[in-house]
Structure 1
Amino acid sequence: MKPAIPFRPILFVLTLLVLSACATKRPAMEWRDEGFSTEFDNILIIAAIERSTRRRVYEDEFVEALETLNVEATPSYELMTSSLTVSRQTVEAAIRGQDIDAVLVTRLLGVKEEEVYQPPTSYDHHRGYHRYYLHALENDNRAYYRRFKVLTLETNIYDAATNQLIWSMQSESIEPSVPRNLIEEQIALTIRTLQARGLIVAKE
Protein backbone atom coordinates (compact mmCIF):
# COMPACT_ATOMS: atom_id res chain seq x y z
CA MET A 1 0.00 0.00 0.00
CA LYS A 2 1.31 3.45 -0.85
CA PRO A 3 1.85 5.94 1.97
CA ALA A 4 -1.08 8.28 2.53
CA ILE A 5 -0.52 11.73 1.05
CA PRO A 6 -1.32 14.54 3.50
CA PHE A 7 -4.00 16.83 2.11
CA ARG A 8 -3.45 20.04 4.03
CA PRO A 9 0.24 20.54 3.18
CA ILE A 10 -0.60 20.07 -0.48
CA LEU A 11 -3.42 22.59 -0.16
CA PHE A 12 -0.97 25.04 1.43
CA VAL A 13 1.54 24.62 -1.39
CA LEU A 14 -1.17 24.94 -4.03
CA THR A 15 -2.40 28.14 -2.38
CA LEU A 16 1.05 29.70 -2.67
CA LEU A 17 1.46 28.49 -6.24
CA VAL A 18 -1.90 29.96 -7.25
CA LEU A 19 -1.06 33.27 -5.58
CA SER A 20 2.34 33.38 -7.26
CA ALA A 21 1.04 32.40 -10.69
CA CYS A 22 -2.09 34.55 -10.72
CA ALA A 23 -1.00 37.63 -8.79
CA THR A 24 -0.61 39.81 -11.88
CA LYS A 25 -2.63 37.95 -14.48
CA ARG A 26 -5.33 40.60 -14.32
CA PRO A 27 -5.46 44.18 -13.01
CA ALA A 28 -6.65 44.71 -9.44
CA MET A 29 -8.01 48.07 -10.58
CA GLU A 30 -8.23 49.71 -13.99
CA TRP A 31 -9.50 53.02 -15.32
CA ARG A 32 -9.41 54.66 -18.74
CA ASP A 33 -10.67 57.80 -20.40
CA GLU A 34 -13.46 56.41 -22.55
CA GLY A 35 -13.42 59.53 -24.70
CA PHE A 36 -9.88 58.82 -25.87
CA SER A 37 -9.61 56.38 -28.77
CA THR A 38 -6.21 57.08 -30.36
CA GLU A 39 -3.49 54.46 -30.31
CA PHE A 40 0.02 55.43 -29.22
CA ASP A 41 3.02 55.00 -31.53
CA ASN A 42 6.00 56.31 -29.55
CA ILE A 43 6.04 55.93 -25.77
CA LEU A 44 8.41 57.25 -23.12
CA ILE A 45 8.84 54.53 -20.47
CA ILE A 46 9.46 55.73 -16.92
CA ALA A 47 10.09 53.44 -13.97
CA ALA A 48 9.77 55.60 -10.85
CA ILE A 49 12.21 53.39 -8.93
CA GLU A 50 14.93 54.62 -6.57
CA ARG A 51 17.50 52.02 -7.62
CA SER A 52 18.92 53.13 -10.95
CA THR A 53 19.92 49.60 -11.97
CA ARG A 54 16.37 48.27 -11.56
CA ARG A 55 15.01 51.34 -13.29
CA ARG A 56 17.20 50.62 -16.30
CA VAL A 57 16.30 46.94 -16.35
CA TYR A 58 12.55 47.69 -16.20
CA GLU A 59 12.68 50.38 -18.86
CA ASP A 60 14.91 48.37 -21.19
CA GLU A 61 12.72 45.27 -20.85
CA PHE A 62 9.60 47.33 -21.55
CA VAL A 63 11.13 49.00 -24.61
CA GLU A 64 12.28 45.64 -25.94
CA ALA A 65 8.82 44.12 -25.46
CA LEU A 66 7.17 47.00 -27.33
CA GLU A 67 9.70 46.78 -30.14
CA THR A 68 8.62 43.18 -30.79
CA LEU A 69 5.23 44.73 -31.66
CA ASN A 70 6.93 47.38 -33.81
CA VAL A 71 5.82 50.07 -31.36
CA GLU A 72 8.50 52.70 -30.77
CA ALA A 73 9.54 53.41 -27.19
CA THR A 74 12.30 55.22 -25.32
CA PRO A 75 13.65 54.49 -21.83
CA SER A 76 13.51 57.60 -19.66
CA TYR A 77 17.11 57.26 -18.47
CA GLU A 78 18.23 58.30 -21.96
CA LEU A 79 16.43 61.64 -21.57
CA MET A 80 16.29 62.12 -17.79
CA THR A 81 18.96 61.60 -15.15
CA SER A 82 18.18 59.28 -12.24
CA SER A 83 18.36 62.21 -9.80
CA LEU A 84 15.42 64.01 -11.40
CA THR A 85 12.05 63.75 -9.69
CA VAL A 86 9.29 62.59 -12.02
CA SER A 87 7.04 65.62 -12.41
CA ARG A 88 5.18 67.39 -15.15
CA GLN A 89 8.02 69.89 -15.54
CA THR A 90 10.83 67.31 -15.78
CA VAL A 91 8.88 65.11 -18.19
CA GLU A 92 7.93 68.05 -20.42
CA ALA A 93 11.56 69.13 -20.54
CA ALA A 94 12.67 65.58 -21.38
CA ILE A 95 10.27 65.05 -24.28
CA ARG A 96 10.55 68.53 -25.76
CA GLY A 97 11.62 68.15 -29.38
CA GLN A 98 11.11 64.38 -29.25
CA ASP A 99 8.56 62.53 -31.38
CA ILE A 100 6.86 61.06 -28.30
CA ASP A 101 3.08 60.87 -28.06
CA ALA A 102 2.64 59.11 -24.70
CA VAL A 103 4.32 58.85 -21.32
CA LEU A 104 4.01 55.62 -19.33
CA VAL A 105 4.93 55.73 -15.63
CA THR A 106 5.15 52.70 -13.33
CA ARG A 107 5.65 53.13 -9.59
CA LEU A 108 5.43 51.11 -6.40
CA LEU A 109 2.22 52.15 -4.68
CA GLY A 110 2.54 50.09 -1.51
CA VAL A 111 3.79 46.97 0.24
CA LYS A 112 1.83 44.80 2.66
CA GLU A 113 2.73 41.65 4.51
CA GLU A 114 0.47 38.61 4.49
CA GLU A 115 0.80 35.13 5.92
CA VAL A 116 -0.53 31.64 5.29
CA TYR A 117 -0.91 29.11 8.11
CA GLN A 118 0.87 25.80 7.64
CA PRO A 119 -0.86 23.18 9.85
CA PRO A 120 1.01 20.24 11.36
CA THR A 121 1.55 17.39 8.92
CA SER A 122 0.65 13.78 9.54
CA TYR A 123 1.77 10.70 7.64
CA ASP A 124 0.75 7.08 7.48
CA HIS A 125 3.38 4.84 9.08
CA HIS A 126 3.55 2.33 6.24
CA ARG A 127 6.90 0.72 5.65
CA GLY A 128 8.64 -0.34 2.48
CA TYR A 129 11.12 1.26 0.17
CA HIS A 130 9.61 4.65 1.13
CA ARG A 131 10.66 4.14 4.75
CA TYR A 132 13.65 6.48 4.75
CA TYR A 133 11.72 9.20 2.91
CA LEU A 134 8.79 9.01 5.32
CA HIS A 135 11.05 9.03 8.35
CA ALA A 136 12.71 12.21 7.13
CA LEU A 137 9.36 13.92 6.61
CA GLU A 138 8.04 12.87 10.01
CA ASN A 139 10.91 14.69 11.70
CA ASP A 140 9.54 18.11 10.71
CA ASN A 141 5.78 18.30 11.17
CA ARG A 142 5.33 21.44 13.25
CA ALA A 143 2.81 24.13 12.41
CA TYR A 144 4.11 27.50 11.27
CA TYR A 145 3.16 30.63 9.36
CA ARG A 146 4.56 31.44 5.93
CA ARG A 147 4.99 35.20 5.53
CA PHE A 148 5.35 37.01 2.24
CA LYS A 149 5.13 40.54 0.86
CA VAL A 150 2.50 41.70 -1.61
CA LEU A 151 3.53 44.60 -3.83
CA THR A 152 0.97 46.99 -5.32
CA LEU A 153 2.15 48.58 -8.56
CA GLU A 154 0.50 51.42 -10.43
CA THR A 155 1.01 52.15 -14.12
CA ASN A 156 -0.34 55.31 -15.76
CA ILE A 157 -0.31 56.51 -19.36
CA TYR A 158 -0.50 60.20 -20.17
CA ASP A 159 -1.08 61.87 -23.52
CA ALA A 160 2.16 63.73 -24.19
CA ALA A 161 0.46 66.59 -26.03
CA THR A 162 -2.06 67.44 -23.30
CA ASN A 163 -0.55 65.85 -20.15
CA GLN A 164 -3.95 64.23 -19.66
CA LEU A 165 -4.24 60.89 -17.85
CA ILE A 166 -5.58 58.39 -20.39
CA TRP A 167 -5.29 55.04 -18.61
CA SER A 168 -4.41 53.75 -15.15
CA MET A 169 -3.94 50.27 -13.71
CA GLN A 170 -3.10 48.87 -10.29
CA SER A 171 -1.90 45.29 -9.89
CA GLU A 172 -0.71 43.11 -7.03
CA SER A 173 2.17 40.64 -7.03
CA ILE A 174 3.91 38.51 -4.45
CA GLU A 175 7.46 39.78 -4.06
CA PRO A 176 9.62 37.26 -5.94
CA SER A 177 13.09 36.13 -4.94
CA VAL A 178 14.26 37.22 -8.40
CA PRO A 179 13.17 40.84 -9.18
CA ARG A 180 13.40 40.26 -12.93
CA ASN A 181 10.49 37.79 -12.69
CA LEU A 182 8.23 40.54 -11.35
CA ILE A 183 9.46 42.96 -14.00
CA GLU A 184 8.69 40.56 -16.85
CA GLU A 185 5.31 39.66 -15.35
CA GLN A 186 4.28 43.29 -14.88
CA ILE A 187 5.35 44.31 -18.38
CA ALA A 188 3.49 41.40 -19.96
CA LEU A 189 0.31 42.27 -18.05
CA THR A 190 0.55 45.96 -18.96
CA ILE A 191 1.11 45.36 -22.66
CA ARG A 192 -1.60 42.73 -22.83
CA THR A 193 -4.09 45.10 -21.19
CA LEU A 194 -3.12 48.06 -23.36
CA GLN A 195 -3.57 45.96 -26.48
CA ALA A 196 -7.00 44.84 -25.29
CA ARG A 197 -7.98 48.51 -24.81
CA GLY A 198 -6.67 49.48 -28.25
CA LEU A 199 -4.11 51.93 -26.85
CA ILE A 200 -1.23 50.09 -28.52
CA VAL A 201 -1.52 48.03 -31.68
CA ALA A 202 1.05 45.63 -33.09
CA LYS A 203 2.27 46.82 -36.47
CA GLU A 204 3.43 44.81 -39.45
Structure 2
Amino acid sequence: MRRLSTLFAFTLIVLGSCSPSVKILGSWTSPSMSTTGYEDIFVTALTENILARQTVEQDLDNLLNEKGVNAQSSFNILPPGFKTSGVDKNEVLQKIKALGSDAILTVAVLDQTNETRYVPGTTMYSPMGYGYYGRFWGYYSYYNPVMYDPGYYTTDKNYYLEANLYDAETEELVWSSQSETTNPASIETFSKTFSETIVSQLIKDGLIIKE
Protein backbone atom coordinates (compact mmCIF):
# COMPACT_ATOMS: atom_id res chain seq x y z
CA MET A 1 0.00 0.00 0.00
CA ARG A 2 1.56 3.24 -1.10
CA ARG A 3 1.87 6.04 1.45
CA LEU A 4 -0.19 9.10 0.52
CA SER A 5 0.52 12.71 1.50
CA THR A 6 -1.54 13.17 4.65
CA LEU A 7 -2.22 16.81 3.81
CA PHE A 8 -3.71 15.85 0.44
CA ALA A 9 -5.60 12.87 1.80
CA PHE A 10 -7.22 14.70 4.70
CA THR A 11 -8.21 17.47 2.29
CA LEU A 12 -9.91 14.88 0.07
CA ILE A 13 -11.81 13.59 3.09
CA VAL A 14 -13.11 17.11 3.68
CA LEU A 15 -14.36 17.22 0.06
CA GLY A 16 -16.15 13.84 0.16
CA SER A 17 -19.84 13.64 -0.72
CA CYS A 18 -21.61 10.77 1.09
CA SER A 19 -22.17 9.46 4.59
CA PRO A 20 -19.07 7.88 6.11
CA SER A 21 -18.68 4.26 7.10
CA VAL A 22 -15.54 3.33 9.03
CA LYS A 23 -14.55 -0.29 9.54
CA ILE A 24 -11.51 -1.83 11.18
CA LEU A 25 -9.56 -3.98 8.72
CA GLY A 26 -7.28 -5.39 11.41
CA SER A 27 -5.60 -4.61 14.71
CA TRP A 28 -2.49 -5.82 16.52
CA THR A 29 -1.62 -5.72 20.21
CA SER A 30 1.87 -6.15 21.62
CA PRO A 31 2.27 -8.96 24.17
CA SER A 32 4.20 -6.48 26.34
CA MET A 33 1.37 -3.96 26.63
CA SER A 34 0.26 -2.72 30.04
CA THR A 35 -2.18 -5.22 31.54
CA THR A 36 -3.97 -2.44 33.42
CA GLY A 37 -4.53 -0.29 30.35
CA TYR A 38 -3.52 3.32 29.77
CA GLU A 39 -5.09 6.19 31.67
CA ASP A 40 -3.71 9.32 29.99
CA ILE A 41 -3.27 9.53 26.21
CA PHE A 42 -1.53 12.18 24.11
CA VAL A 43 -3.36 12.40 20.74
CA THR A 44 -1.82 13.62 17.50
CA ALA A 45 -3.08 13.48 13.89
CA LEU A 46 -0.23 13.51 11.37
CA THR A 47 -1.37 16.08 8.83
CA GLU A 48 -0.60 19.68 7.92
CA ASN A 49 -4.31 20.33 7.36
CA ILE A 50 -5.02 22.30 10.54
CA LEU A 51 -8.82 21.91 10.39
CA ALA A 52 -8.59 18.14 9.93
CA ARG A 53 -6.01 17.83 12.70
CA GLN A 54 -7.99 19.91 15.19
CA THR A 55 -11.23 18.08 14.45
CA VAL A 56 -9.84 14.56 14.68
CA GLU A 57 -7.75 15.24 17.78
CA GLN A 58 -10.62 17.00 19.57
CA ASP A 59 -13.15 14.28 18.80
CA LEU A 60 -10.76 11.58 20.02
CA ASP A 61 -9.99 13.62 23.15
CA ASN A 62 -13.69 14.14 23.93
CA LEU A 63 -14.61 10.50 23.44
CA LEU A 64 -11.67 9.19 25.47
CA ASN A 65 -12.55 11.59 28.29
CA GLU A 66 -16.13 10.29 28.20
CA LYS A 67 -14.74 6.78 28.71
CA GLY A 68 -12.79 7.87 31.79
CA VAL A 69 -9.40 8.27 30.06
CA ASN A 70 -7.63 11.61 30.23
CA ALA A 71 -6.68 12.74 26.73
CA GLN A 72 -4.92 15.81 25.41
CA SER A 73 -4.42 17.29 21.96
CA SER A 74 -0.90 17.72 20.63
CA PHE A 75 -1.15 21.40 19.60
CA ASN A 76 0.65 22.81 22.65
CA ILE A 77 3.61 20.48 22.17
CA LEU A 78 3.57 19.99 18.38
CA PRO A 79 2.31 23.27 16.87
CA PRO A 80 1.27 23.63 13.20
CA GLY A 81 4.31 23.41 10.94
CA PHE A 82 6.29 21.41 13.50
CA LYS A 83 9.20 19.49 11.95
CA THR A 84 11.29 16.82 13.64
CA SER A 85 14.54 17.85 11.95
CA GLY A 86 16.83 19.69 14.35
CA VAL A 87 14.53 19.06 17.31
CA ASP A 88 15.66 17.43 20.55
CA LYS A 89 13.58 14.27 20.72
CA ASN A 90 14.05 13.85 24.46
CA GLU A 91 12.86 17.39 25.11
CA VAL A 92 9.63 16.73 23.21
CA LEU A 93 9.07 13.42 24.99
CA GLN A 94 9.66 15.02 28.35
CA LYS A 95 7.01 17.64 27.59
CA ILE A 96 4.56 14.88 26.71
CA LYS A 97 5.34 13.00 29.92
CA ALA A 98 5.05 16.23 31.91
CA LEU A 99 1.41 16.39 30.84
CA GLY A 100 0.95 13.08 32.63
CA SER A 101 0.56 11.08 29.41
CA ASP A 102 1.47 7.40 29.62
CA ALA A 103 0.66 6.68 25.96
CA ILE A 104 0.77 8.44 22.59
CA LEU A 105 -1.93 7.86 19.95
CA THR A 106 -1.08 8.77 16.34
CA VAL A 107 -3.44 8.88 13.35
CA ALA A 108 -2.32 8.95 9.71
CA VAL A 109 -3.81 8.40 6.25
CA LEU A 110 -1.96 5.58 4.50
CA ASP A 111 -3.64 5.51 1.11
CA GLN A 112 -6.60 6.65 -1.01
CA THR A 113 -8.11 4.73 -3.91
CA ASN A 114 -10.92 5.32 -6.39
CA GLU A 115 -13.29 2.47 -7.24
CA THR A 116 -15.75 2.83 -10.14
CA ARG A 117 -18.89 0.70 -9.99
CA TYR A 118 -22.06 0.39 -12.05
CA VAL A 119 -25.40 1.08 -10.42
CA PRO A 120 -28.05 -0.82 -12.44
CA GLY A 121 -31.22 0.92 -13.58
CA THR A 122 -34.72 -0.04 -12.49
CA THR A 123 -37.87 -0.87 -14.45
CA MET A 124 -41.38 -0.51 -13.07
CA TYR A 125 -44.14 -2.33 -14.95
CA SER A 126 -47.94 -2.36 -14.58
CA PRO A 127 -49.55 -5.01 -16.87
CA MET A 128 -52.63 -4.10 -18.89
CA GLY A 129 -55.52 -6.27 -20.04
CA TYR A 130 -55.90 -8.33 -23.20
CA GLY A 131 -56.65 -6.60 -26.50
CA TYR A 132 -54.41 -3.52 -26.06
CA TYR A 133 -53.17 -3.73 -29.68
CA GLY A 134 -56.62 -3.14 -31.09
CA ARG A 135 -56.85 0.61 -30.53
CA PHE A 136 -54.39 3.47 -30.17
CA TRP A 137 -55.34 4.40 -26.62
CA GLY A 138 -55.24 0.84 -25.45
CA TYR A 139 -51.78 0.37 -26.95
CA TYR A 140 -50.52 3.72 -25.61
CA SER A 141 -51.94 2.99 -22.19
CA TYR A 142 -50.19 -0.37 -22.18
CA TYR A 143 -46.71 1.05 -22.68
CA ASN A 144 -47.19 4.26 -20.72
CA PRO A 145 -46.85 2.55 -17.25
CA VAL A 146 -43.53 1.01 -18.26
CA MET A 147 -40.95 3.37 -16.80
CA TYR A 148 -37.20 2.86 -16.91
CA ASP A 149 -34.56 4.57 -14.77
CA PRO A 150 -31.22 4.09 -16.59
CA GLY A 151 -28.18 2.81 -14.75
CA TYR A 152 -25.07 4.88 -14.20
CA TYR A 153 -21.46 4.67 -13.11
CA THR A 154 -20.29 6.16 -9.84
CA THR A 155 -16.85 6.44 -8.24
CA ASP A 156 -16.31 5.59 -4.58
CA LYS A 157 -13.37 7.14 -2.72
CA ASN A 158 -11.80 4.77 -0.21
CA TYR A 159 -9.40 6.02 2.46
CA TYR A 160 -7.13 3.74 4.49
CA LEU A 161 -6.00 5.02 7.89
CA GLU A 162 -3.64 3.78 10.55
CA ALA A 163 -3.86 4.45 14.27
CA ASN A 164 -0.86 3.55 16.47
CA LEU A 165 -0.52 3.61 20.24
CA TYR A 166 2.95 3.99 21.76
CA ASP A 167 4.02 3.63 25.36
CA ALA A 168 5.21 7.11 26.41
CA GLU A 169 7.96 5.77 28.66
CA THR A 170 9.56 3.24 26.31
CA GLU A 171 8.36 4.64 22.95
CA GLU A 172 7.45 1.05 22.09
CA LEU A 173 4.53 0.36 19.75
CA VAL A 174 1.90 -1.44 21.83
CA TRP A 175 -1.11 -1.33 19.51
CA SER A 176 -1.87 -0.67 15.86
CA SER A 177 -4.97 -0.74 13.69
CA GLN A 178 -5.84 -0.10 10.08
CA SER A 179 -9.28 1.08 9.04
CA GLU A 180 -11.16 2.00 5.89
CA THR A 181 -13.72 4.70 5.22
CA THR A 182 -15.70 5.23 2.02
CA ASN A 183 -17.09 8.51 0.68
CA PRO A 184 -16.96 10.62 3.86
CA ALA A 185 -19.34 13.59 3.67
CA SER A 186 -17.16 16.01 5.65
CA ILE A 187 -14.30 16.06 8.11
CA GLU A 188 -16.82 16.54 10.94
CA THR A 189 -18.96 13.49 10.16
CA PHE A 190 -15.94 11.36 9.31
CA SER A 191 -14.08 12.35 12.47
CA LYS A 192 -16.93 11.43 14.83
CA THR A 193 -17.44 8.03 13.23
CA PHE A 194 -13.70 7.36 13.06
CA SER A 195 -13.18 8.33 16.71
CA GLU A 196 -16.01 6.07 17.88
CA THR A 197 -14.57 3.16 15.89
CA ILE A 198 -11.00 3.63 17.17
CA VAL A 199 -11.95 4.12 20.82
CA SER A 200 -14.24 1.07 20.69
CA GLN A 201 -11.37 -1.01 19.30
CA LEU A 202 -8.98 0.28 22.00
CA ILE A 203 -11.49 -0.83 24.64
CA LYS A 204 -12.08 -4.16 22.92
CA ASP A 205 -8.33 -4.87 22.73
CA GLY A 206 -7.80 -3.92 26.39
CA LEU A 207 -5.61 -0.85 25.84
CA ILE A 208 -7.95 1.32 27.85
CA ILE A 209 -10.32 0.28 30.61
CA LYS A 210 -13.79 1.76 30.32
CA GLU A 211 -15.09 3.16 33.59
Q: Normalising by the residue count of structure 1, what TM-score does the alignment of the two structures yield? A: 0.76
Task: Tell me how far apart the structure 1 counterparts of residues 84 and 200 of structure 2 sit (CA, whole Å).
Answer: 25
Note the 1:154-193 alignment, pairs <5 A. 154-193=162-201
- 2:170 corresponds to which letter in structure 1? T
The Cα shift of 1:176 comes to: 1.4
Question: Which structure ranks higher in relative contact order (CA pairs < 8 Å, sequence separation ≥ 6)?
Answer: 2
Q: Residue 12 of structure 1 corresponds to which residue in structure 2?
A: none
Partner amino acid for 1:116? Answer: R
The CA distance in 2 between the partners of 1:114 and 1:81, in whole Å, is: 35
Deviation at 1:58, TM superposition (A): 1.0
Tell me how far 1:121 sits from its aligned partner: 2.2
Corresponding letter in the other structure for 2:61? V
1:49–1:163 Cα change, 3 Å: same
Partner of 1:29: 26
Question: What amino acid does structure 2 have at the position aligned with 1:164?
Answer: E
Structure 2: where are the runs of 5+ without partners? 1-18, 129-143
Q: Larger Cα Rg: Structure 1 or Structure 2?
A: 2
**1:118 deviation in Å?**
1.4
Counterpart AA for 1:106 = V
Q: What RMSD over aligned residues (CA atoms) do the two structures have, in Å?
A: 2.6
Instruction: Describe the SS at the equivalent of 1:157.
Output: strand
Alignment match of 2:48 (pick from 50, 54, 71): 50
TM-score using structure 2 length = 0.73
Question: Is 1:48–1:86's contact at 8 Å kept on the other side of the alignment?
Answer: no
* One of 129, 152, 161 as aligned partner of 1:153: 161
Aligned residues, how many? 174
Compare 85-94 and 35-44 and name the one that shifted more.
85-94
Identity level (%): 26
